[in-house]
């Protein structure tokens, strides 16, 4: 069995934002490594925030600003679909993200996923499934990380409350591993035609679904668990087979 290359870089993520629908842009996303950002602006949005414009200009090599001139129903939606399609043809193995609360994009997403294009819709920048430098933790995560160690270290003998919190935190990590597994299995069951046919593509697919780097222990852990559960196997050429 051929070993998985350890030098693989993170997958490319193409982000398309419907600025008519979602108005909050995470500025740390613009210019981030392995991220291509396209901001779709409607004809009635005459002014953009100066800080946002400066950020776009600073990273002009990896961003695109598209402003429509004519007002029409769903005009921006069609334009976004056009630019996404061009990107998918140019970089078919990358990951594509639409930031919009509009469910009208979902039929397009389903159509592309049936053709093995990895694309998802997110209601906000914070909901994006991959990480990048500058991405903030959820409030619940940051509070838990700070609160538990202080209470455990405050006394030599842990109190019952502190012990319960430590146990809860450990259980949370286990749950997150189970959640990652369930998310991957659900996606593979719902989209059998989009299951990766190569080991490297499988790593990249799981990385996109879990928000972890393709060469991370979390991604490898999902693969190992799938093999142990009899859901996945590899032949002598390291080609995956799905047993569900």
**Residue 93 exposed, middle or buried by CB count within 10 Å (0-12, 13-18, 19+):** middle
Looking at domain 13-127, its CATH architecture is: 3-Layer(aba) Sandwich (3.40)
pLDDT at 238: 83
The predicted pLDDT at position 172 comes to: 47
More confident residue, 114 or 214: 114
Residue 127 has pLDDT above 50, yes or no: yes
Give the tens place of pLDDT for each residue, 21-61. 999 999 999 998 899 999 999 988 878 888 898 989 999 88
CATH class of 153-242: mainly alpha
Domain ranges of the chain: 13-127, 153-242
| Segment 170-221, tens digit of pLDDT | 444 444 677 888 888 888 888 888 888 888 888 888 888 888 888 888 888 8
Residue 126 near residue 99, CB atoms below 8 Å = no
Please state the rounded mean pLDDT for residues 118-139.
83
């Amino acid at each position: 069995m051929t070993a998985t290359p350890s030098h693989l870089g993170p997958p490319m993520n193409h982000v398309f934002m419907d600025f008519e629908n979602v108005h909050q842009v995470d500025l740390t996303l613009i210019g981030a490594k392995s991220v291509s950002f396209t901001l779709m602006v409607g004809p009635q949005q005459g002014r953009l925030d100066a800080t946002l414009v400066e950020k776009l200009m600073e990273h002009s090599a990896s961003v695109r600003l598209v402003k429509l001139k004519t007002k029409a129903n769903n005009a921006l939606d069609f334009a976004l679909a056009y630019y996404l399609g061009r990107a998918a043809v140019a970089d078919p193995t990358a990951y594509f993200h639409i930031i919009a609360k509009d469910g009208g994009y979902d039929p397009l997403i389903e159509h592309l996923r049936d053709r093995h294009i990895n694309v998802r819709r997110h209601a906000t920048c914070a909901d994006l499934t991959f990480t990048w430098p500058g991405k903030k933790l959820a409030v619940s995560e940051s509070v838990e990380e700070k609160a538990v160690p202080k209470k455990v270290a405050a006394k030599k003998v842990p109190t019952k409350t502190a012990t319960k919190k430590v146990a809860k935190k450990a259980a949370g990590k286990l749950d997150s591993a189970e959640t990652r597994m369930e998310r991957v299995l659900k996606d593979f069951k719902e989209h059998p035609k989009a299951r990766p046919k190569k080991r490297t593509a499988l790593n990249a697919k799981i990385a996109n679904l879990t928000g972890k780097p393709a060469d991370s222990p979390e991604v490898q852990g999902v693969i190992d668990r799938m093999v142990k559960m009899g859901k996945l196997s590899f032949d002598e050429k390291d080609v995956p087979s799905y047993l569900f």
